Amino acid sequence: MDTTFAQRRRRDLIVAFCLAVVAALVPLFVKDVYVQNIMVLTLMYAALSQSWNILSGYCGQISLGHALYFGLGAYATALLFTKFGVLPWFGMLAGGVISAVIAMVLGYPFFRLRGHYFVIATIVIAEIGLLLIQNWDWAGAALGITIPMRGDSWLKFQFARSKLPYFYFALALACVAWFVTWWLEDSKWGYWWRAVKDNPDAAESLGVVVFNSKMGAAAVSAFLVAVGGGFYAQFVSYIDPESVMGFQFSLLMALPAVVGGIGTLWGPMLGAVILIPLTELTRSFIGGSGRGVDLIVYGSLIVAISLARPQGLVGLFASRKEAAR
Amino acid sequence: MTITRRNVLLGASAAAALAPIVARAQTAEVVIGVLYPFSGASAQMGVDAQKAYEAALDVINTKYDFDLPLAKDAGLPGLGGAKIRLVYADHQGDPQKGRAEAERLITQEKVCAIVGTYQSAVAVTVSQTCERYQIPFVSADNSSPSLHTRGLKFFFRAAPHDEMFSKGMFDFYDVMKKKGTKIETLALFHEDTIFGTDSANAQTKLANERGYKIVADIKYRANSPSLSAEVQQLKAANADVLMPSSYTTDGILLIKTMGELGYKPNAIVAQAAGFSEKALYDAVGDKLEGVITRGSFSLDLAAKRPMVGKINAMFKEKSGKDLNDNTSREFMALIVMADAINRAKSTDGEKIRDALAATDIPGEQTIMPWKRVKFDEMGQNNDADPVLLQYVGGKFVTISPAQAAVAEAIWPMK
Amino acid sequence: MTAEAIIQSLASGLLMGLLYGLIAVGLALIFGLMDVVNFAHGEFLMIAMYATFFLFAFFAIDPLLAAPLVAAALFVFGAVVYLLIVRFAVRAKANAGMVQIFSTFGLAIVMRGLAQFFFTPDYRSVTHSWLGGKTISVAGIYLPEPQLVGALVSIAAFVALYFFINRTDFGRALEATREDAGAVALVGIDKNRVFALGWGLGAALVGLAGAIMASFFYIYPDVGASFALIAYVTVALGGFGSVFGAFAGGIIVGLVEATTALILPPSLKSVGIYAVYLLVVFIRPRGLFGSM
């Protein structure tokens, strides 16, 4: 068992490396900016969902409030740059650290909550964050923040037309999120989480250490999501509270993992690759009707997948080996 | 390769004489992108806008005897009679999606210009994107004053912005005051969005400048389940004028809640939005007798300019509604854009931009009560005079400014 | 601020709170029965409001008369949703919690899309009704009739529900199924039937709320979103599964919302509700009256 586990992990790493290399080469052949834009979003949501998956999938603490960290990252990056001239690279880092600290402060009372009490607490805290920013005049309130565009620059991480720098950043973020997950799977924390998931009573005996590991998961998850938020602010170069901290972001982060497979290493990636192009294409090509057809297609798909494949689509790829085992 | 070179040679040698033929052959149609919310909470706005653009498209692409630019010809004479084709895209009210759709329209659909967007937040990113691709953007119905002050070269707005609209209101107060009406205190009621914030900021500034006292400044959350606490505070303040900046949903709830809590202000002067939508008057019209709203458009113009009535009838046939504040601006945006493309004699972004900058359409050749359409260096048309409309007996009558008014204001409202 | 303004705010808050309770109680009931939170609850409300509107628009039926019809229609709708979707969601062997959240959430998106498709995104209102626009004034305090009747219906519904659960065979079957679904199968109760009826009942209650709200609220495909989060917070505040908790939770939410708007800018009034929820669950992680 242990050897197969080790083998699987080595194989995962090789596959991931190959996929990353292939992904990095794709823009050399795909020049269309609209398609490139979809690829950037796909990678970004893959990274976000992978980060979300650490807390909600592996730890089993379902958060529907990660928009809070996404928004904090976006606002930290945009505010530090426009108000103090801090380069976005440091802004993203600062946003990540702030978010990680807030996640731990919140984790202390939140992790005592079970099931839906926890879920609703996460929704509510993100809503509070949204309302506060929306009423915070210094941070632009509802007007949002425009990041001034002064020509292409790596230092300021802004590019007028080219999507490639954003693409490679998003790819790097997705790789980091994947690697952190991969690494956590085989860590002490990973073992505890699995033990707790399999047997809730074990949680009692492990008590404090599990609690601490959850705090760690919340911090890592929040940090990565906030970096994603900072990236988004640079990518769109305009943010307003509703468009970076709205409830929809919490869902958009969760959905790829749900579709692909929660608590799995590959689920969020697979889910993002399916879901994001689908949502973009349905909106672009059937959303213009004003009849809500895109919503019907999208919603039906979520219902169908969650009912037909509760373990996520990732199982489809592994099923042959499972059967063999 | 050879074909291209031959075309270039042909173009160079044949010069001006052949140019119209070449143009006709090359641009049988001119593609313009139209970006609106077609799903989500504001989807109805996109649906209505689509009807307005279809009406404008009809006027441009077929012959009509209207004194509007391009109405008398079929298509664009400057481009050999090329027809305009519109490509609609859905931004769902999300700035990121607006940007992505603008990019798709420019790079895939090869649009030569974009109009939109209803939500101001989306106009921010769409106009930035257009700037990056050097494609002109005409803001049809965004009223946020911050949009045109960002130093964008390709941004144009023929319609007034919130400061101009609010100025129209305060001009009206000044006139009423001179006539002896008591207007001293104001109550602002605005949603917590860009629209609400910009509107309230403009109104606060004007009130301070002109010596009106703001006794209540209520910012509320858009689409709240209840507005009783807010209305309670408005009632307690009991200002001479209530000035709401609200969309349809909150407008309906505001008026209903005011009725339920027994609050009847002397006058309501609204920053259009919901207060120019038919749905609001269908819902609570009986309580709105005498309400005043700013507008860019007035059907009263039809008496002076018969084409306004005819165009309204065209629109009504498509949508079942009269032209209103939004749909009239949308209609005009496409006319202004098409006029510029026609004069540019090209679908090149830079040339259309220069043509837009040189736009000079006299007010009589629009369906609006504007003096003219002429853009300043920031792309804003400062000659777009707003009007104030009062809802009397189930329809709107123009009451201000004097040159457009057809009736005296009824004050206080019933 | 005058005493009158404070009393008015509290009165309005109380009336609204009773309605929140009525909107939310269906959620509490279903959760109590089978530990499932319906994330399409707001859309159930939306459908109920549309049903009321169309009964009014096409047959001139007053919302008050329509209420039982709408409740009956929603009963059927709720049962069907259980049989077609939720029944399979709760069977999921993997990620059960996640599956039921996202299957009902997906349903919510589909319902919004369908509403937009069939009813258009335009804003509708019931323009004339017996109660609409009428208001009672007592010593300077205004009590709008639609909300007043809504509050009375809410109280009546809670009383009826109490007796129903405690005094009828079906109610006892609900209780028994909730306590031990495996054991009831042995005594010949069809678990699926009880669950379907439970979903029907939960949906009927939100149907009742929707019919009443239609007489004073606007209607459009996204209208449920404004109420959904309040409904979840109401139920969680009172304690999931506790019908009385939903009642108390509704009143608390209504009053907190009204008082917050007196103290803070009204755009922040929901912050008060959310803060109280967090405070309550930090002290009592199962809500005020939660049992499990």
Instruction: Give A193 or A80, the one with higher predicted confidence.
Output: A80
Residue B53 lies in a domain: yes
- Closest CB to B249: pick one of C218, C258, C267: C218
Structural domain harbouring B290: 163-295+388-400
Residue C198 near chain A (CB below 8 Å): no
Phi, psi values for residue A259, rounded to 5°: -70, -45
ipTM of the complex in this document: 0.90
* DSSP-assigned states of every residue in C74-122: HHHHHHHHIIIIIHHHTT-SSSHHHHHHHHHHHHHHHHHHHHHHHH-S-
pLDDT of residue C3: 82
Structure tokens at B15: 């010069």
Residue B409 lies in a domain: no
Average pLDDT for chain B: 88
Q: How far apart are CA A248 and CA A234, in angstroms?
A: 20
The tens digit of pLDDT for each residue in B110-128 reads: 999 999 899 888 999 999 9
pLDDT of residue A193: 79
Which has the minimum average pLDDT: A307-321, B63-77, B244-258, B360-374? A307-321
| Chains B–C, number of C-beta pairs less than 8 Å apart | 116
pLDDT of residue A2: 59
Asked if residue B208 and residue B287 are part of one domain, the reply reads yes
pLDDT band per the 50, 70, 90 thresholds, residue C133: confident
Average pLDDT for chain A: 87
The tens digit of pLDDT for each residue in B28-46 reads: 799 999 999 988 778 888 9
What angle do the packed helices A88-110 and A200-236 form, to 10 degrees? 150
Residue A243 near chain B (CB below 8 Å): yes
Percent of chain C scoring above 70 in pLDDT: 97
pLDDT of residue B155: 95
Residue C282 near chain A (CB below 8 Å): yes
Asked if residue B227 and residue B286 are part of one domain, the reply reads yes
pLDDT of residue A200: 61
CB contact under 8 A, B253 and C144: no
pLDDT of residue B278: 86
Rounded to a whole number, what is the largest CA-CA distance in chain A?
A: 61
Chain A residues in contact with C221 by the CB 8 A cut-off are 292
Helix, strand, coil percent values for chain B (each to nearest 5):
50, 20, 35
CB contact under 8 A, A34 and B108: yes
Residue B19 lies in a domain: no
Chain A residues in contact with B219 by the CB 8 A cut-off are 135
Half-sphere exposure of C275 (CA within 13 A, CB side): 13
pLDDT of residue B1: 35
pLDDT of residue A288: 62
Asked if residue B392 and residue B251 are part of one domain, the reply reads yes
What is the DSSP code (8-state) at residue B82?
B
pLDDT of residue B16: 41
Q: What is the mean pLDDT of residues C215-239?
A: 91
Nearest CA to C100 among C42, C39, C41, C45? C39
Output the CA torsion sign for B122, B125, B129, B130.
positive
Give the minimum alpha-carbon distance from C104 to chain A in angstroms, rounded to a whole number: 7
Asked if residue B396 and residue B263 are part of one domain, the reply reads yes
Instruction: Give B2 or A151, the one with higher predicted confidence.
Output: A151
The tens digit of pLDDT for each residue in B176-189 reads: 999 999 999 999 99
Domain count, chain B: 2
Structure tokens at B42: 């504001």
Asked if residue B358 and residue B377 are part of one domain, the reply reads yes
Give the minimum alpha-carbon distance from B138 to chain C in angstroms, rounded to a whole number: 26
Asked if residue B315 and residue B176 are part of one domain, the reply reads no
pLDDT band per the 50, 70, 90 thresholds, residue B8: very low
Residue B193 lies in a domain: yes
pLDDT exceeds 90 at position B286: no
Residue B216, domain CATH: 3.40.50.2300
Which has the minimum average pLDDT: A299-313, B1-15, B130-144, B359-373? B1-15
pLDDT exceeds 50 at position A127: yes
Q: How far apart are CA C203 and CA B261, in angstroms?
A: 31
pLDDT exceeds 70 at position C41: yes
pLDDT of residue C271: 94
Percent of chain A scoring above 70 in pLDDT: 91
pLDDT of residue A318: 60
pLDDT exceeds 80 at position C238: yes
Chain C residues in contact with B257 by the CB 8 A cut-off are 144
Asked if residue B290 and residue B317 are part of one domain, the reply reads no
Asked if residue B145 and residue B85 are part of one domain, the reply reads yes
Asked if residue B123 and residue B75 are part of one domain, the reply reads yes
Residue A33 near chain B (CB below 8 Å): yes
- Closest CB to C218: pick one of B218, B220, B253: B253
Which H/E stretch holds residue C136?
Answer: strand C135-138
Chain A residues in contact with B101 by the CB 8 A cut-off are 283-284
Asked if residue B239 and residue B276 are part of one domain, the reply reads yes
pLDDT band per the 50, 70, 90 thresholds, residue A84: very high
For residue B155, the cross-strand partners are B137
Residue B109 near chain A (CB below 8 Å): no
pLDDT exceeds 70 at position B21: no
Residue B348 lies in a domain: yes
Asked if residue B71 and residue B134 are part of one domain, the reply reads yes
Asked if residue B105 and residue B39 are part of one domain, the reply reads yes
pLDDT exceeds 80 at position C183: no
pLDDT exceeds 70 at position A323: no
Domains of chain A (ranges; CATH) run 3-323 (1.10.3470)
The tens digit of pLDDT for each residue in C69-94 reads: 999 999 999 999 999 998 888 887 77
The tens digit of pLDDT for each residue in A85-108 reads: 899 999 999 999 999 999 999 998
Residue B247 lies in a domain: yes
Q: What does each C-alpha distance from C18 to B200, C5, C9, C25, C150 come to in angstroms?
A: 34, 20, 14, 10, 8
- Closest CB to B252: pick one of C113, C123, C222: C123
Output the CA torsion sign for B200, C257, B40, C146.
negative
Residue B211 lies in a domain: yes
Residue B4 lies in a domain: no
- Closest CB to A292: pick one of B39, B128, B192: B39
Residue B146 near chain A (CB below 8 Å): yes
pLDDT exceeds 70 at position B19: no
Strands B292-295 and B387-392: antiparallel
Chain B residues in contact with A32 by the CB 8 A cut-off are 107-108
CB contact under 8 A, B284 and C125: yes
